[in-house]
Amino acid sequence: MHIFTDIQAAPPDPIYNLTTACNADPNPQKLNLGVGVYKDAAGHIPVLDTVKTAEQRILTDEDTKNYLPIDGTPDFGEAVRSLLLGVDHSLSTAPDSITLHTPGGTGALRLACELVAKNRSDTTVWLSDPTWTNHAQIAQQADLAVRTYPYLDAGTHSLLREKMFAAWATVPAGDVVLVHGCCHNPTGLDLEPDDWQRLAGLSRERGFQVLVDLAYQGFGRGLDLDAAGVRVLADAGLPTLIASSYSKNFGLYNERTGALTAFGFGPASNAMLSQLKVHARSLWSSPPAHGARIVSSILADRELRAAWTVELAAMRDRINEMRSLLAESMHHHGADRDFSFITRQYGLFSLTGIDAEANARMRADQSIYFMSTGRINVAGLTAATIEYFCQAYVATLN
């Protein structure tokens, strides 16, 4: 008898588990379209050249492995705000703008949820339907309730815009509405600047809190356009929480580099920062240094920053190229429906509409791994594997 005698096994993570299963598959043609990572035209998850350069400099210059401050270093905070707001935005240096360096975007989301939960335990977090599978779990682990708002019309692969606004118009004061900043995971359907304006208006009117998850800045329409929503909220003076991740746009997945930023909270920001530090201290004590050092070194150096934006644009272009190629190739192979909607989505993901049964068959027969919801990581495809994927899909239907 021990304290875990009656413990129940938890289900495996639906995203990471696909990688585990794919790694164990001996089929040389296997294809992992599960986890959201950028792969290059050779199907490799690359280290960016600018990251390598920054790392070499860090290796030369680093003279200590001392702990970072609980909230990270000021230069990382500045780098994060320059990406969120654009260089030289007045809010970047406003006394109530705060940024905490967190282990990944997940750490930032969890920190935000902890702050909300400890401040007001009966808060509900409203999530888009559908959303990233980890969102509900993060909120629930912080003892927050979750509800959903309509987002995707699966039949037409479009945004349920008016239904989404109608749901937001019912959100009680004090609740949290979590919105994807860009490259919505899993649908690839994003809000437009007008939508963000309406969101700001509703948030003010109803008194709910907006929490933005910005994990793919630069992968959709560009660095600035992907932050347009965040900037609308900031310019409207709306008190806003933003969880941002540098896993994707700097390719720093295993360095766990993210941030929680708060704008517009006025005098409360000092107390918020102090409470956030208590949560961070009890969750991970102080943040991991390496990834944040890479990000700040690249962004603080004019040449490296410019070279990084070129690398980022190349990743974005390749994703969009794969989108077009996939839609064309599906058509070419005589797929049962039009997949051109894939070209109208942004970021790594597409909800293809491929159902769970076809998904299971493609996995069993062709070793193609993607989420049973039909979500694929478009950036996991190459010109060569698109053929394989489309043939597998058509064969499965027949």
What gap in Å lies between CA 178 and CA 211, rounded to an integer? 5
Give 137: exposed, middle or buried? Use CB within 10 Å, 0-12, 13-18, 19+. middle
Give least dist CB 13 to ligand LMR, A.
Answer: 8
**Shortest approach of ligand LMR to residue 324 CB, angstroms?**
22
212-241 exposure pattern, b = at least 16 Cβ within 10 A, e = fewer? bbbbbbbbbbbbebbbbbbbbbbbbebbbb
Nearer to ligand LMR, 132 or 208 (CB): 132
Binding mask 174-193 toward ligand LMR (x if CB under 6 A, else -) reads -----------x--------
Which CB sits closer to ligand LMR, 21 or 94? 21
Planar angle of CA 291, 105, 307, nearest 5 degrees: 45
Q: Is 248 a catalytic residue?
A: yes
Smaller CB separation from ligand LMR, 198 or 323: 323
Residues 309 to 328 in contact with ligand LMR, rule: CB under 6 A: none
Positions in 23-62 near ligand LMR (CB under 6 A): 35-36
Instruction: Please enumerate in sequence order all residues whose Cβ is within 8 A of that of 327, keeping only pairs 6 or more positions apart, or say none.
Output: 339, 340, 341, 342, 343
Give the nearer residue to ligand LMR in terms of CB position, either 15 or 202: 15
Q: Which of 92, 134, 269, 396 binds ligand LMR (CB under 6 A)?
A: 134
Under rule CB under 6 A, residue 257 binds ligand LMR: no
| Residues in Cβ contact with 216 at an 8 Å cutoff, skipping those fewer than 6 apart | 181, 182, 183, 185, 226, 245, 248, 249, 347, 348
40 counts as catalytic: no
- Using CB under 6 A, pick the residue from 38, 76, 126, 132 that binds ligand LMR: 132
Encoded tokens for 72: 């990270």
Size, binding site for ligand LMR by CB under 6 A: 6
Alpha-carbon distances of 395 from 268, 365, 377, 387, rounded to whole Å: 59, 10, 21, 12
Considering the rule CB under 6 A, would residue 251 count as an interface residue with ligand LMR?
A: no
Q: Answer yes or no whether residue 345 interacts with ligand LMR by CB under 6 A.
A: no
Question: Looking at 126, 132, 196, 308, which residue is catalytic?
Answer: 132
Residue 363: phi and psi, rounded to 5, are -70, -45
Nearest-approach distance from CB 15 to ligand LMR, in angstroms: 4
Q: Does 379 bind ligand LMR (CB under 6 A)?
A: no
Say which amino acid occupies 115: L
Least spacing, CB of residue 17 vs ligand LMR, in Å: 11
296: contact with ligand LMR by CB under 6 A = no
CB of 35 to ligand LMR, least distance (A): 4
Q: Please give the Cα distance from 380 to 35 (Å, whole number).
A: 9
Catalytic residue among 175, 190, 213, 226: 213
Residues that bind ligand LMR (CB under 6 A): 15, 35-36, 132, 134, 185
Residues taking part in catalysis: 132, 213, 248
